[in-house]
Every structure is written in structure tokens, then in C-alpha cells.
Amino acid sequence: MTFYQLIFDFIRRHRRHYLAAALMLCAVAMLSVWIPRKIGRLVDALVAGQLSTGSMFAELGLILLMGLAIYFLRVGWRMQLFVASYQLGVQLRTDLVQRLCLQGPHFFQEQRTGDLMALGTNDADAIELAAGEAMLAGFDGSLTLIMVLGMMLLGIDWRLTCMALLPFPFMALAFRRITRQVHNASHAALSCFSQLNDQVQESIAGIRTMRALGLEQRNARQFADLAEQAAAASLRAQRWEAAYEPAVGLALTVAGVMTLALGGYLVWHGKMSIGSLTSFSMYLGQLIWPMFAAGWVLSLLERGRAAWQRLEPVLSLPLSVEDHGSISSLPEGEIQCRDIGFAYAEQDSAQAALQGISLTLPVGATVGLVGPTGSGKSTLIRLLLRQYQAQQGEVRWGGHVLSDYRLEQLRSQISWVAQEPFLFSATIADNIALAKPDASREAIEQAAKLAAVHDDIMSFPLGYATLVGERGVTLSGGQRQRVAIARALLINAPLLLLDDALSAVDTGTQTRILQHLRHARAGAGAGRTVLLVSHRLSVVADADHIVVLQNGKITEQGNHATLSGNQGWYASQWRYQQLEASLDAL
């Protein structure tokens, strides 16, 4: 969709507001062009001595009433128009956020957070102004121009009108060049603002790292450079926008001089009255607004068009994982991975993240997934979550391929805890109840106890009402992981994915959490399938089935007793970790 298609489609859908504003503007324009005509006739009557004092005050009172009517009508059309135009900003920001929420990890690996934030702020504002201020000024200016020229041409003198219009073709040529420069400068200014926004976002997110490495001054210099670039780009855009005013002023000055000379000549020879020349001069003054409006409209439209060129590709970019599923029922049953193969875009096909993975997750079973770093464990988790789509083979749940389910239904049946969990700037209770906001306090506390974090929470002065700060900054790494585990357990989904979610807790806390999980599965949580991904083999030692991944392939599988008795990677890693644990205990 082009920028102008977007604007006209929005106007069509909100035509009632725009039509009401247009009617009010028509009334304003008619009153505005009638006042100079009225004043001209009043001057001629005064010169001819045909106007009494009472009649003069009556005429002046009528003109005053017209001015008041213009004032209230202008207030009215602004309210009508901006009620509609602000909705475009709401629509664009809503569409952007909804689109971002549907995109997968691959999209965010290629996009910068600051740039996406700028699209929802500055760029959306620029498009909103184009739908509001630009449409308003364009309609008002065009209508005023037509009616003023009509009165000048038909009501005053066609010769003066033709003389006044002579400089305007040159002004149009100047507008054409200025408009092209405004578009380029606006696009550059918006891009510079995005870079500045991204720098601020990264600086705040990484403030602790910068302080630890003593990079404050270097970061400040980088920010200053970007701020200067953004200021310079905005100044270039403003400089070109300011060029509209001299072009208008020069054209109107030349037109005023030429019409005054011709009008004086006509009055001197008795071919025009002083009142008519006065009216014409007032009409010529009223042309200032349509000319300024033309420059303003072009400036706003070019800013909006430049912003849409940045926003539209993000809105129209295909989803990294399409949601075309037709099954709206909830998935249930065992999960089967059949000859799964997957490679990231930046990987060589010969070094795929997963190759020929065939695996079954029975209902109610606990399956451990282990292997060295980079073996493909987290990638398999992401395929189960449909953050990525398998390029070879298929994943089935309850006999249906995952892509047959609607994403909303699929993900509602999965609880996932990442290795680096994300906590929102809210209370601990709100973070635990994130996916189940109507959960009772007892249910929240029970989930926290299962995650072995209840005692930690109660040690805070405010308990569950403690604010965790942005990204959970006030909590330790282990506490953040356990709050995330409590959040996943509260949902009580049939599939629980723990992606190295115990890496930041000590072995004692780890043992308590695993015991709680086993008890929950034996009780109310029976039937829940658990997939445990971990570098610590002690986490998966009690699993019903253990799978070893190396270089994206399954190299071993079985229970702990079987694997530890073999001479493979699992056995050697188990002996090493047991030795390490015994040395730590000394």
C-alpha cells in the first residue's frame, strides 16, 4: 500500500468526521471571502456619503458577527478533524505492536530495538500529522484559494487577477525543488533519530556493563556524535521547509506591487472605485494563507511519506512463522519428532543445527535433553514452540503437525522457561501471574513454593508486592529463574519446557525444585510432559528418558543407568561432574 492509498483509505473510513470538518471549512471560507467584499462596499458608501451612522454601526456589527462565527467554526472543524486523525496514529501503533508480537526470533535478530521504537513514535507522528494537519490545511487552503480567486476574477476585476497570478508559476517551480529536498532531508532525519534512539536504549540496558568496564566517557562521546548528526539532519530538513516561506513572500510581494500599479492606474482613470481596489488588496492578502498552506501541506506530506517508507516494510514483512493453522482445538497426546532437520540462515547447510532428529515425548513423561554447548538443544525447544519452522521432517502433537494448530491454541498448552528469563517491571506476584492474571494469592504462593522461591520472596520487606525493577534487576539470577519457573508452573500446561532453567541455582535448591516437580506430577500435575534441557546431568538423572545431542544429531539415548554404564559422552561427562561436585564439597 502506498502512502497516499493509506491516507485516502483512512479518510474514506472516517468520512463522517472529514465531511463535517469540510462543511465547516466551506462556511469559514464563504464568510472569509464575503468580509472583504462587505468592507469594500462599506468604503464606497462612506466615500459617496450614502451611509448613516446607524447603518455604519449595523454593518460593522454584522462584520463582527461574521468574525465570531468564523472563530467558532474553526474550533468545530479542528475538533472533528483531529478526533479522526489521531485514530490513525493509534491504528498504526497498534498494527505495529501486533505485528511485532507475531514475529519470530529471526526478525528481531535483524532489527534494532531503538529503530522499532522510533517507528512507533516519530514515524507514526509524522504520518498522523499528514492525515490531520496536512488534510486540513490542504482543503482549507484550496477552498480559500478558489473562492478568493473567484471573487477577485468575477467580483472585482479580471485584469488585476491575471496580473496577480503572473508570479505564481515561478513559485510552483520553486515548490517542486523544495519538496524533493524536504523528502530526502526528512528521511535522513528520521533515520538519524532511530540511531540515536537505539543508542539510548542500548546504553540504558547495558549500563552496568559500561560502568564495570569504565566506558561511560566513550559512550557519552558516541551519544554526542549521534546527537549532533540527528540535530544536523533535522536542521537540514527545517532549513528546506523554511524555504517555502521566502518563495511565497517573494511571489506575493511581486504580485502586490504589480496589482497596486495597475489598480492605481485604473482608479486614476476612473475605471475602478477605491472600494473595489481596497477589496482586491484585502483579497490579495487572503492569498497568503493558501500559499503558506501549500508549503506546509507539501512539507507534512513529504515527512509522512518518508516515515511511511520506513514503517510500511516492517508492517508488510511476512511473518517468520506463518499462522495458517485450521485446528482450533487444544493439542493433546504424545509429541513426535520425525527426522527433523533445521539450519539457521547464517549457517552452512552442511553444519545444520539439527539433523535427522527422531524423538517421542510420551504423555506424562519426563525427558532429559543434554549435550555440549551448540549441540542444538535450544533449537529443538524453539521448534516445539514454533518460533521456527522445521525445514526437514515434521513435529506432530496428538497426530497432527504443529503447523495445523493455531499458534494461540498451541502455545497456550506450553509452559516455557528460558535460560535467561524475562521479568517485567512489576511486582513479584504480577510476574508469577503474568499468564494467569486472575490467579488467587494461594495459587501464586503454591507455585512459588514448588519453584523453591517462596522463602526468598518472604524475606523481602514487601513480600510478593516487591517491585522487581526493569528486567528483574533487583533479583539475583537464581531468583529470576525460580520466579520464571513459578510462572510456568502456575499455568499448569500439559507440556513444560525447561531450557537450562536451573543453571543459576545451587545444587541444593536444584534438588528441592526437582523433588517438587516430581511430587506435582504425581499429584495434580499428573499427565504433564516435561522436557528438561540442562548442562548439569544431575538435573536429568531421574528422567524417564535421556537424549544426548552432539553436533545436531542424537548420539545416545536411554535412562541414566544405561547411559552412565556406556562409554559415550554422557558417561564421561557424568564422571567428570561427579568428581567436580566431590571436590567442591571438600
- DSSP β-bridge partners for residue 550: 553
The closest of 276, 281, 117, 138 to 200, measured between CA atoms, is 117
- Return the higher-pLDDT residue of 238 and 487: 487
Q: What is the CATH number of domain 417-492?
A: 3.40.50.300
- DSSP β-bridge partners for residue 549: 554
Rounded distance between C-alpha atoms, residue 543 and residue 366, angstroms? 5
Collapsing DSSP states into helix, strand and coil, what is residue 417? strand
Residue 363 predicted with pLDDT over 50: yes
Q: What percent of the chain has pLDDT above 90?
A: 3
Q: Strand 529-533 relative to strand 366-370: parallel, antiparallel, unpaired? A: parallel
**Identity at 513, one-letter amino acid code:** I
Residue 337 predicted with pLDDT over 60: yes
- DSSP β-bridge partners for residue 554: 549
Q: pLDDT tens across 184-226, in order?
A: 887 788 788 778 877 877 777 777 777 777 777 887 888 888 8
- Per the document, the length of the chain is 586
The closest of 303, 304, 307, 367 to 335, measured between CA atoms, is 367
What is the arithmetic mean of pLDDT over 159-175? 76
Residue 526 predicted with pLDDT over 60: no
pTM for the structure as a whole: 0.70
Q: Residue 124: its pLDDT value, please?
A: 85
User: Grid cell 540504558 — which residue?
Assistant: 204
The domain ranges of the chain are 82-316, 331-413+495-502+528-586, 417-492
Let me know if 585 is exposed, middle or buried by CB neighbors in 10 A (0-12, 13-18, 19+): exposed
Do domains 331-413+495-502+528-586 and 417-492 share one topology? The answer is: yes
Residue 41 predicted with pLDDT over 90: no
Q: Residue 323: its pLDDT value, please?
A: 78
User: Grid cell 529443538 — which residue?
Assistant: 380
Q: pLDDT tens across 271-280, in order?
A: 776 766 666 7
Rounded distance between C-alpha atoms, residue 131 and residue 137, angstroms? 10
What is the arithmetic mean of pLDDT over 397-409? 86
Q: Residue 55: its pLDDT value, please?
A: 74
Q: Are 128 and 308 in contact (CB under 8 A)?
A: no
Q: Are 39 and 151 in contact (CB under 8 A)?
A: no
- Return the higher-pLDDT residue of 367 and 242: 367
User: Grid cell 521504537 — which residue?
Assistant: 117
Q: Are 382 and 365 in contact (CB under 8 A)?
A: no
**Identity at 175, one-letter amino acid code:** F
Residue 230 predicted with pLDDT over 90: no
Q: Residue 155: its pLDDT value, please?
A: 66
Domain at 82-316, CATH homologous superfamily: ABC transporter type 1, transmembrane domain (1.20.1560.10)
What is the arithmetic mean of pLDDT over 315-324? 80
Residue 307: phi, psi to the nearest 5? -65, -40
Among 130-139, 507-516, 530-539, 545-554, the least confident range: 130-139
Q: Are 141 and 28 in contact (CB under 8 A)?
A: no
User: Given pLDDT bands bounded at 50, 70 and 90, which one contains residue 294?
Assistant: confident
Q: Residue 520: its pLDDT value, please?
A: 67
Among 257-266, 404-413, 457-466, 512-521, the least confident range: 257-266
H or E element that contains 392: strand 392-397
What is the arithmetic mean of pLDDT over 377-392? 88
Mean pLDDT over each residue of the chain, to the nearest integer: 80
Q: How far is CA 563 from the centre of its chain?
A: 49
The Cβ-side half-sphere exposure at 563, using a 13 Å CA radius, reads: 29
What is the arithmetic mean of pLDDT over 485-494? 86
Q: Residue 369: its pLDDT value, please?
A: 93
Q: Residue 548: its pLDDT value, please?
A: 92
The topology under which CATH files domain 331-413+495-502+528-586 is Rossmann fold (3.40.50)
Residue 524 predicted with pLDDT over 60: no
Residue 309 predicted with pLDDT over 80: yes
Q: Are 82 and 24 in contact (CB under 8 A)?
A: no
Q: What percent of the chain has pLDDT above 70?
A: 91
